[in-house]
């Protein structure tokens, strides 16, 4: 559908960086097919907010990799709508959540370079005219503000949950359980498999059966080669046992 006149288009695009774009006075959207510009954007996100995660639309990424673009329809106020419009709003939301820093207080303080990157990101996936750039950036501001509001609310809920008596009981139990672990491992995210790979590199071939005592010792040794606390005593006992076994 074609866009409206320049006067209507300019009025609709007025954006103060805080409240988002608004329709010209006295205007109305075609009631037969409401625009995705209304409300928070993606209707599916509104109706299923508590039942699904934030959408990234990986199917769009696949289309981009295949060199395809999604067509966008517009109403007479220049608003995008339909399935293409919904996909565009979702794509915008996913991009700003990942790339726009939270330290900026308001959308106008976000660098123009980042806003241009958002526009280029959308152009790759959607068949949009250059006149849609300002609207796309404005919608990015809307989605970014929604994202910050969501994070703020989630953070408050998180803090409240951590200050609750119920969590206090769970935390105490966890601390008591951890205190019983006299020999904590230091393998990090690599786990035991990382130690096994290192041992194979040292000998230059694949090891079919690993020495469990050696793995236990290495998994509890600090990066500087030191062992501390009760672990040091166990390491001494392991060495003593191996010496007697060899002798």
Asked if the model's pLDDT at residue 39 lies above 80, the reply is no
Q: d(Cα 230, Cα 135) in Å, to the nearest integer?
A: 64
SS3 73: strand
Model-wide pTM > 0.85: no
pLDDT digits (tens, 9 = 90+) for 115-145: 999 999 999 999 999 989 999 999 999 999 9
Indicate the burial class of 198 (C-beta count within 10 angstroms; 0-12, 13-18, 19 or more).
exposed
Q: d(Cα 160, Cα 20) in Å, to the nearest integer?
A: 31
Cβ atoms of residues 143 and 41 within 8 Å = yes
Provide the pLDDT for residue 44.
44
**Residue 126's beta-bridge partner residues?**
70
Provide the pLDDT for residue 139.
94
């Amino acid at each position: 559908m074609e866009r409206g006149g320049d006067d209507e288009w300019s009025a609709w695009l007025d954006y103060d960086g805080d409240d988002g774009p608004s329709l010209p006075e006295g205007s109305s959207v075609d009631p037969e097919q409401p625009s995705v510009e209304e409300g928070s954007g993606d209707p599916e996100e509104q109706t299923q907010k508590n039942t699904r995660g934030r959408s990234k639309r990986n199917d769009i990424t696949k289309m981009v990799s295949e060199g395809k673009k999604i067509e966008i329809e517009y109403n007479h106020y220049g608003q995008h709508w339909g399935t293409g419009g919904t996909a565009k709003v979702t794509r915008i939301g996913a991009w700003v959540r990942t790339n726009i820093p939270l330290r900026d207080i308001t959308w106008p303080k976000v660098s123009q370079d980042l806003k241009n990157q958002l526009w280029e990101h959308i152009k790759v996936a959607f068949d949009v005219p250059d006149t849609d750039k300002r609207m796309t950036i404005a919608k990015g501001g809307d989605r970014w503000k929604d994202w910050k509001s969501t994070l703020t609310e989630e953070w408050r809920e998180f803090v409240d949950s951590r200050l609750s008596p119920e969590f206090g009981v769970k935390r105490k139990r966890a601390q008591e359980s951890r205190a019983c672990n006299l020999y904590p491992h230091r393998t990090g995210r690599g786990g035991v498999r990382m130690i096994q790979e290192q041992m194979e590199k040292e000998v230059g071939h694949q090891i079919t059966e690993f020495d469990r005592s050696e793995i236990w010792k290495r998994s509890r040794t600090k990066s500087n080669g030191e062992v501390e606390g009760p672990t040091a005593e166990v390491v001494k006992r392991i060495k003593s046992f191996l010496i007697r076994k060899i002798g």
